[in-house]
Amino acid sequence: MSTHSGTDASRLRSIARRAMLERGLLPDFSEAVMTQTSAAVAMRHESNTAIRDLRGLLWASIDNDDSRDLDQLSVSQPAADGAVQILVAIADVDALVKRGSAIDGHAEANTTSVYTAAQIFPMLPEKLSTDLTSLGEGQDRLAIVIEMLVGTDGAITKSDVYRAVVCNRSKLAYNATARWLEGDAPAPSGITAVAGLDEQLRAQDRAAQSMRALRHQHGALSLETIETRAVFDGDVLADLRPDEPNRAKQLIENLMIAANGVTAKYLDAKGLPTLRRMLRSPERWQRIVDLAAESGERLPAAPSGLALEEFLASRRRADVARFPDLSLSVVKLLGRGEYVVRLPGESAAGHFGLAVQDYTHSTAPNRRFPDLITQRLLKAAIAGEAMPYSTEQLQALARHCTEQEDNATKVERQVRKSAAALLLESRIGQRFEGMVTGASGKGTWVRISHPAVEGKIVNGAEGLDVGDRVHVKLVRTNVERGFIDFVRETTR
């Protein structure tokens, strides 16, 4: 039993705020930001031939059950020869968040919303992100539309980008929609209430699955890591529950990957630079080769996404229960993504994990500043106007966004570790089976499964590397610092 004062929720909120400040992130909005936000009103949709009226289409959003900052909608329409036209609408956040404003300054400082187990620190004030710039159900909103013609083989044969007014007909949730798509439950009321929505959602799902299959043929990686979310019983932390993948999440993920690719190509064709999202070939490829060898399989000496994907698919079939452990090891060894500026005509590395050459972030402008930057570039390209940022400004922003994303990830991880330490406070001395998730000069880390938390091996880590399975005993926790310490135990 904890002897610390305050509820679990209040302790974690305090830790989260401290972590934000230590990492150079702003936990609060300034008075100037709040003053501008209070004055903000919904954009009027005046007649403009450059802005199409697409409110008559069956747009719908699919997101987490409790999400209110809705960045994207999608809709499908049948086309010739079995193809399908997919439209993705992205909230026009730039319409209300003007460059150089106090609100924009806060967004640029943090560059992302920070999602911790204790609380969310949104990039934009909630009056905007969950209302005026959110694609809320029943609301007419300005948007950037990415239009794609998807063939039966998953290839995008034609695309366009333009501005439009849209209206969300139905706010759907991942879990209920996934159960329906997978045939495990009837359609949720949000689907049955809108005539024709079920048909075109299934068409979106088929297109998304075909696009996904095509990417995997080219070496996109089938990774399935365990992400946890804090579950509270009142103010008491009750569990860290895995957030399971499902068919509806796959649908949105694959449509967004495709939309981001179209966006990058559109800007390139217009002669504008792009803020690309890149994941380089893994520096620790040899360790991935070693992991495959431990499973009796071989990978080539040089990095190959296609060979790695074949290995991952094989291991998933062979041992589905432990596949998330292998996925986590591979994710750690792949390294982090980064933002880079690509000038028109330049060659640049793509995204190793997604097996795409052209990729940017454009589909979440309420939550990520790089997406808002890209949106401003898109609007300039559509209107034929001058580029809103110089190349030097974009390069500085790319570095800044990469750094702040890393800081935000560290804050999220810090609070997640503190929540895990809080959950394990009463279990000192217990033994667990785990998998090594990190090994460097800074130490060796292990993840246990129940609950799914990570800690440091403070004794007996010699000779261990990422992917090794070990038995450990919990010897110490420190909630404030997020420390969970294990010692390695030898099996008898």
Distances (CA, A) of 242 to 234, 239, 313, 379: 19, 9, 22, 39
Tell whether 136 and 263 lie within a shared domain.
yes
| 82 within a domain of the structure (yes/no) | yes
Note whether residue 161 is domain-resident.
Answer: yes
Strand partners of residue 171: 61
Residues 366 and 462 in one domain: no
From 361, 387, 419, give the residue that closes a domain.
419
Pair 348, 445 in one domain:
no
In a domain, 241, yes or no: yes
The pLDDT, as a whole number, for residue 46 is 66
Q: Are residues 392 and 446 in the same domain?
A: no
* pLDDT for residue 491: 63
pLDDT above 80: residue 45? no
Extract the tokens encoding 165: 């007014």
Residue 480: which domain range? 428-492
CB proximity list for 64: less than 8 A, separation 6 or greater: 173, 174
Domain shared by 379 and 439, yes or no: no
Residue type, 124: L
Q: Quick one: 150 and 258 in the same domain?
A: yes
Task: Quote the CA–CA distance of 388 and 120 in Å, as a whole number.
Answer: 30
CATH code, 480: 2.40.50.140
Q: Domain ends where: 419, 445, 472?
A: 419
Whether 348 and 481 map to the same domain: the answer is no
128 located within any domain: yes
Tell me what pLDDT residue 131 has.
Answer: 96
Q: Per-residue confidence at 2, pLDDT binned at 50, 70, 90?
A: very low
Could you tell me the two tokens for 66? 């409790």
My answer on whether 384 and 461 are in the same domain is no
Number of H helices, E strands in the chain: 13, 18
Q: Would you say residue 58 lies in a domain?
A: yes
Q: Is pLDDT above 90 for 231?
A: no
Question: Is residue 111 within 8 Å of 369, Cβ to Cβ?
Answer: yes
Tokens standing for residue 436: 């090594």
| pLDDT for the residue numbered 49 | 73
Q: What is the DSSP letter of 350?
A: -
Average pLDDT over residues 36-56: 86
- Only one residue has tokens 């019983």, namely 233
At 273, the pLDDT band (50, 70, 90 cuts) reads very high
Q: Taking 80 as the threshold, does the pLDDT of residue 47 lie above it?
A: no
Mean pLDDT of 153-165: 97
Query: Does 392 share its domain with 474?
Result: no
Residue 298 lies in a domain: no
- Are 109 and 218 part of one and the same domain? yes
Q: What is the mean pLDDT of the chain?
A: 93
**What would the pLDDT profile of 60-91 be if each residue is shown by its tens digit?**
999 998 899 999 999 999 999 999 999 999 99
Q: pLDDT by residue (tens digit) across 446-490?
A: 989 888 888 999 999 999 988 888 999 999 999 999 999 999 997
Asked if the model's pLDDT at residue 6 lies above 80, the reply is: no
pLDDT at 87: 98
pLDDT of residue 395: 97
Task: Give which of 424, 461, 428, 419 is closest to 442, Cα–Cα.
Answer: 461
For residue 224, the SS3 value is: coil
State residue 283's pLDDT score.
82
Residues 273, 387, single domain; the answer is yes
**Residue 317 domain-assigned?**
no
pLDDT category at 50 given cuts 50, 70, 90 is confident
pLDDT of residue 3: 44
Return the higher-pLDDT residue of 45 and 35. 35
Residue 347: pLDDT band by 50, 70, 90 thresholds? confident
Among candidate residues 419, 441, 456, the one where a domain is terminated: 419
pLDDT in tens, 296-330: 999 999 999 999 999 999 999 998 877 888 888 89
Model pLDDT, residue 341: 96
Helix (H) or strand (E) holding 133: none
Do residues 424 and 479 lie in contact, with contact meaning Cβ atoms separated by under 8 Å?
no
Number of compact structural domains in the chain: 2
**Residue 303 within any structural domain of the chain:** no
- For 270, the token pair is 């217009």
Q: How far is CA 94 from the centre of its chain?
A: 21
Same domain, 112 and 241: yes
Give the pLDDT score at 1. 36
pLDDT digit string (tens) for 378-437?
Answer: 999 999 999 999 999 999 999 999 999 999 999 999 999 999 999 999 899 999 999 898
82: helix, coil or strand? helix
Give the residue among 328, 394, 414 at the shortest CA–CA distance from 121. 414
Tokens of 115: 């999602």
E runs forming strands in 23-155: 51-53, 60-63, 72-78, 84-91, 114-115, 120-121, 140-150
3-state secondary structure of 242: strand
